């Protein structure tokens, strides 16, 4: 393999829990809730799927169906989709819905998987080009920079910047072109069999990891080093 493409959320990084997400935002706003109310609100936000990178919605309200389908094709649609889900849950101040959305983009809200740095560094040292291909509605580059991993990444191909979403092979083709890599010599690594599996249509090899909390997946990325040769 001359290049490896990685998904972002659930593959290289894991977002914080819904409880931590909510508690952080409430604390920054100086808002307190009784513990029982806090617990129920955190559970309700999780059921709603309001945390990007967290649990998917149990059900998408009909009025959000269209924007939800297009959420990864622009920043505005991404924000509208997730704040729309958040607003299904009552909060003490309506402004907290936007604050929750802003929080999920903060580098501190994301934790690299324990072996992410080792795998990216080793690929870099071997001369294997690394690219990030993500369905997302915001710029994740600051997350990589804050965690010291940007130095290993040669290209970022993000759905909202191209208005193309995985599994569309065109997004993977853009990444291969940026890395000057033949798709037949590229490995795509992700946690979503449908979205990330779209790379196979281009001729890329594909490897899947499990979307688990970071502490529960300490070495799920290391097989990539053997696959990439």
The whole-number pLDDT of residue 115 equals 97
- Segments in the chain forming alpha helices (H): 18-29, 35-48, 65-69, 75-86, 95-104, 116-125, 141-146, 159-162, 169-178, 223-227
Q: Kindly state the average pLDDT of the residues 206-224.
A: 95
> pLDDT tens for residues 36-51?
999 999 999 999 999 9
> What does the mean pLDDT of the chain come to?
97
> Could you tell me which residues come within 8 angstroms of residue 203 by beta carbon, excluding any fewer than 6 positions away?
183, 184
The whole-number pLDDT of residue 97 equals 98
Compute φ and ψ for 208, nearest 5 degrees.
Answer: -105, 145
The whole-number pLDDT of residue 229 equals 78
* pLDDT-above-90 percentage for the chain: 100
Predicted structure pTM score: 0.95
**Please, what is the Cα angle at 30 between 22 and 103, to 5 degrees?**
40
Q: Kindly state the average pLDDT of the residues 28-34.
A: 95
Task: Write the burial class of residue 211 (CB in 10 Å: 0-12 exposed, 13-18 middle, 19+ buried).
Answer: middle
The whole-number pLDDT of residue 186 equals 98
Q: Grade residue 161 by pLDDT with cuts at 50, 70 and 90.
A: very high
* pLDDT-above-70 percentage for the chain: 100
> pLDDT tens for residues 111-160?
999 999 999 999 999 999 999 999 999 999 999 999 999 999 999 999 99
The whole-number pLDDT of residue 223 equals 95
Please give the C-alpha separations between residue 99 and each of 80, 94, 129, in angstroms, as whole numbers.
Answer: 13, 9, 36
- What's the CATH class of domain 3-14+110-227? alpha beta
> pLDDT tens for residues 55-66?
999 999 999 999
Q: How far apart are the first and last CA of the chain?
A: 7
Q: Grade residue 189 by pLDDT with cuts at 50, 70 and 90.
A: very high
Domain coordinates in residue numbering, the chain: 3-14+110-227, 15-108
> pLDDT tens for residues 65-88?
999 999 999 999 999 999 999 999
């Amino acid at each position: 393999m001359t290049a490896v493409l990685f998904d972002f959320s659930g593959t290289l990084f894991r977002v914080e829990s819904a409880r931590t997400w909510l508690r952080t935002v409430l604390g920054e706003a100086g808002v307190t809730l009784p513990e029982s109310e806090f617990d129920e609100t955190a559970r309700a936000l999780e059921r709603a799927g309001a945390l990007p990178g967290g649990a998917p919605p149990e059900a998408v309200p009909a009025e959000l169906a269209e924007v939800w389908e297009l959420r990864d094709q622009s920043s505005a649609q991404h924000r509208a989709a997730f704040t729309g889900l958040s607003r299904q849950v009552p909060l003490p101040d309506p402004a907290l819905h936007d604050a929750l959305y802003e929080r999920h983009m903060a580098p501190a809200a994301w934790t690299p998987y324990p072996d992410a740095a080792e795998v990216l560094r080793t690929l870099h040292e071997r001369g294997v080009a690394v690219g990030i291909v993500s369905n997302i509605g915001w710029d994740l580059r600051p997350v990589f920079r804050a965690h010291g991993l940007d130095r290993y990444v040669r290209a970022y191909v993000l759905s909202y910047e191209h208005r193309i979403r995985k599994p569309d092979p065109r997004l993977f083709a853009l990444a291969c072109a940026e890395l000057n890599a033949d798709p037949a010599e590229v490995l795509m690594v992700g946690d979503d069999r449908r979205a990330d599996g779209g790379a196979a249509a281009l001729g890329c090899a594909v490897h899947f990891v499990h979307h688990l909390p970071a502490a529960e997946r300490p070495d799920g990325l290391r097989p990539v080093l053997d696959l990439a040769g």
